[in-house]
Amino acid sequence: MSKVTFAIIAATGAAAGAAATAAFYSTKKEQLPTPTIATTTTTTSTGARPQVPVPAIPSPAAVARAPPVDPNGLFQYGFPGPVADLRPAASLTSSYDRRTRNPAWVAEHITPESLRSNNADRKHSVFVEDLTIPEMFRAKLKDYFRSGYDRGHQVPAADAKWSQEAMDDTFALSNMCPQVGDGFNRDYWAHFEDFCRRLTHKYPSVRIVTGPLYLPKREADGKWRVSYEVIGQPPNVAVPTHFYKIIFAEDGKLGGKVAVGAFVLPNDRIANSKPLQDFEVPIEAVERASGLEFATKLEPARRSRLCQEMECSLIIKEYKQRQKNFGKN
């Protein structure tokens, strides 16, 4: 599975089975046996007594057909969740995880035309809280204040220069996760985002899904544990241990070929000399780790491996120079 190694422990709750059982018994009505009444036709004769009809005794199965409880009655008070706050915006679509106060995934689409357009300026965009998310579950600007982490774009602003609205959409905190700044968000991760944009030199349509992961780490006692920092006062926003990108590079033809690449990077300083392919993983590894599915409708015959079709490597640019160039663009 490449050089990135992690363990995925999946648990299947009994709640699913219980819910299915309750639904089965609440919807499937068992046919009751038709009661049979014993009747007798008699003729009158001296001293004969008429027979009294005897009702049939219901079977035990008929008596026990309805369960004595109704777990689904809870829904009269509301549905507990989990709730995925879906945000369709001009430049992205995201699904928000209320528990971690981070997006679960953010999807974008870039093309040569969209990247050529230059109708937005980053200096006019500001970080904002996503008011479509209930206040008690919302990531807030103050959560990041003096946290030591960058507000890390999942869909980068540089991918949305085709309109000011599109760029502004990328500055909502529902498109952010806490990211290590020096050595990652401002360096290796930014080079990785540039790699994704350069894919449009070869492919006319590129779709990217980005999001956080919270992966287990083997500790000194030999056991695997998931441990991550939480920032904010009170602690609200989880700091991911890793980030993933799933790339679908399309040939532009209806039902055409799609080159797929999946990458998992640690939320930590990464030397610019580190080869990008060291972070390539099977897409199934990201699915197991995230609990998400990305390509269930993509037939194997249409799929190819991105890093077999082209060289997956970074072009390193100094952060200050990249910011200067971005300002010019």
26 vs 300 pLDDT, higher one: 300
Entry pTM: 0.78
**Strand ranges for the chain from DSSP E:** 84-88, 93-97, 102-110, 150-153, 176-179, 205-213, 217-218, 224-225, 230-231, 237-238, 242-250, 258-266, 303-305
Q: Given a cut of 90, is residue 69 above it in pLDDT?
A: yes
Phi and psi angles of residue 108, each rounded to the nearest 5 degrees, phi first = -140, 165
Residue range 223-245: mean pLDDT, rounded? 97
pLDDT of amino acid 66: 87
Give the catalytic positions in this structure: 153
Query: Is 236 labelled a binding residue?
Result: no
Cα(139)–Cα(128) distance, rounded to whole angstroms? 10
Is residue 217 pLDDT above 50, yes or no? yes
Q: What percent of the chain has pLDDT over 70?
A: 78
Tell me the domain boundaries of the chain. Answer: 90-328
The whole-angstrom separation of Cα 81 and Cα 206 is: 33
**Per-residue tokens: 182:** 């020096």
Distances (CA, A) of 128 to 105, 118, 231, 244, 266: 19, 23, 17, 24, 26
- pLDDT at 230 > cutoff 90: yes
pLDDT tier, 64 (very low <50, low <70, confident <90, very high otherwise): low
72-81: b (≥16 Cβ within 10 Å) or e? eeeeeeeeee
Please report the pLDDT score of residue 49 as a whole number.
59
Of 226 and 325, the one with more pLDDT: 226
Question: What pLDDT score was predicted for residue 21?
Answer: 37
Mean pLDDT of 11-19: 41
Which DSSP letter does residue 323 get?
Answer: H
* Mean per-residue pLDDT of the chain: 86
Token pair for 254 = 């209806």
Q: In terms of pLDDT, which residue wins out, 126 or 61?
A: 126
- Of the candidate CATH numbers 3.40.570.10, 3.40.50.1370, 1.10.238.10, 3.90.550.10, the domain formed by 90-328 belongs to 3.40.570.10
As a 3-state breakdown, the chain gives helix, strand, coil percent values, each rounded to 5, of 30, 20, 50
Give the rounded distance of the alpha carbon of 324 from its chain centre.
34
